[in-house]
């Protein structure tokens, strides 16, 4: 079945270092969303990408959607302790936009 994998599963960085998480789908995605979940909290929407090759920025966060629309990345420049949490990508399952499947997530720990 369709799978959405993320790497790495865990990442520890020193505050100020950059961080990147990658999302890979076994099938083409019509769109991809990114969510952040703080420890003990619930997922919160960050952004949605729709177009092939699309790049969007939110302050220190840069999101990319691959040309083939099968992969995506989230890059954080100069991490801060407020960036701690788990980052998920999510996309619609093939055959219907009603079902949204989430990636396995990347847990980011920032060491002050």
Which residues form the interface with another protein (CB under 8 A)?
A: 6, 9, 31, 33, 35, 41-45, 48, 50, 88, 90, 92, 97-105
Contacts of 78 (CB under 8 A, 6+ apart): 16, 17, 18, 60
User: Which residue lies nearer to another protein by CB, 46 or 77?
Assistant: 46
A 10 A CB-CB count for 81 gives 10
User: Which residue lies nearer to another protein by CB, 16 or 41?
Assistant: 41
Which among 60, 14, 2, 71 has a CA at the least distance from the CA of 36?
Answer: 60
In whole angstroms, the minimum distance from the beta carbon of 43 to another protein comes to 5
Cβ distance 89 to 77 under 8 Å? no
In whole angstroms, the minimum distance from the beta carbon of 4 to another protein comes to 8
User: Which residue lies nearer to another protein by CB, 29 or 110?
Assistant: 29
């Amino acid at each position: 079945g369709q799978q959405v994998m993320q790497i790495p599963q865990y990442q520890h960085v020193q505050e100020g270092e950059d961080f990147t998480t990658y999302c890979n789908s076994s099938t083409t995605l019509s769109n991809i969303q990114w969510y952040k979940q703080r420890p003990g909290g619930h997922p919160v929407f960050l952004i949605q990408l729709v177009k092939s090759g699309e790049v969007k920025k939110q302050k220190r966060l840069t999101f990319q959607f691959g040309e083939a629309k099968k992969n995506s990345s989230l890059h954080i420049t100069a991490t801060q302790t407020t960036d701690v949490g788990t980052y998920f990508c999510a996309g619609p399952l093939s055959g219907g936009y009603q079902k949204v499947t989430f990636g396995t997530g990347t847990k980011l720990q920032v060491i002050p």
